[in-house]
Amino acid sequence: MANDVLEVTGLAGGYGAIQVLFGIDLTVRRGETVALCGPNGVGKSTLVRMLAGLTGPSAGTVRLNGVDITSLPGPKRVRLGMSTVLGQQAFGTLSVRDNLRVHAYPNGRDDDRVETVVDGALAVFPRLAARADQPAANLSGGERQMLVLAKTLIQRPTLLLIDEFSLGLAPVVVGGLLELVRRLAAAGVATLLIEQSVNVAMSVADRLLFMEHGTIIAAHTPEELRAAPDLARRLVLGGHA
């Protein structure tokens, strides 16, 4: 469909002889936030790593804005509009501002433009702005996630892939990050995020996909799950409730 930013069809693969994913089909539309849920080890991270181009599939296709990107390396996917938040990626010895400059240069034609883009991203995160000249290594976990999201803002993605940014962060920090995801969605960004906590996922996602043994076993809206708490509990426990 014209509004499909991400279209995944029959995606399969894993690590060498170990098959982890078995025929994944999913779409994420413009402005839609989709959460991947399920117990540990079912293949959520493997799926997101495959979408980011870090692991090759053995079968299936991945389309980004209608373009087949299945065999494209990660950096080319970024140029086509994909941005990833996978772990707290930052160059620790560089200052916060320099970390952002690295991402602003491909977009900026001149130094003034780069500074404007960096200042714009810092304006969204006052806590980061206050630490702009400190090495990224000095940041707290939540501040690092802010830095990764600030880089994402600079990349102006059409698709955002997030691997569990709530892990180990204080609820108030998670709340701020989720608010940013909501704002990006309102601006039309499609987001696929892994989220262990179904409650957190329900607070931000339009649809929740539940995985088990490398396949998607169910898809529900937050409204459907609120109306059937037993269903949510069973899906979270991977059918073992």
Return residues touching ligand ATP (CB under 6 A).
15, 18, 20, 38, 40-46
Q: How far is the CB of 219 from ligand ATP (least distance, A)?
A: 16
Strand pairing category for 67-68 and 59-64: antiparallel
Nearer to ligand ATP, 37 or 154 (CB): 37
Give the list of residues 6+ apart from residue 162 with CB closer than 8 angstroms, or none: 84, 85, 86, 181, 191, 192, 193, 194
Nearer to ligand ATP, 42 or 232 (CB): 42
Q: How far is the CB of 56 from ligand ATP (least distance, A)?
A: 13
Q: How far is CA 76 from CA 54, 186, 192, in A?
A: 12, 25, 19
Nearer to ligand ATP, 24 or 122 (CB): 24
Q: How far is the CB of 214 from ligand ATP (least distance, A)?
A: 7
Q: How far is the CB of 181 from ligand ATP (least distance, A)?
A: 19
Residue-level length of the chain:
241
Assign 124 to helix, strand or coil.
helix
Nearer to ligand ATP, 40 or 229 (CB): 40
Q: List the one residue out of 47, 53, 7 whose CA is nearest residue 30.
A: 7
Say if residues 233 and 202 touch (Cβ distance below 8 Å): no
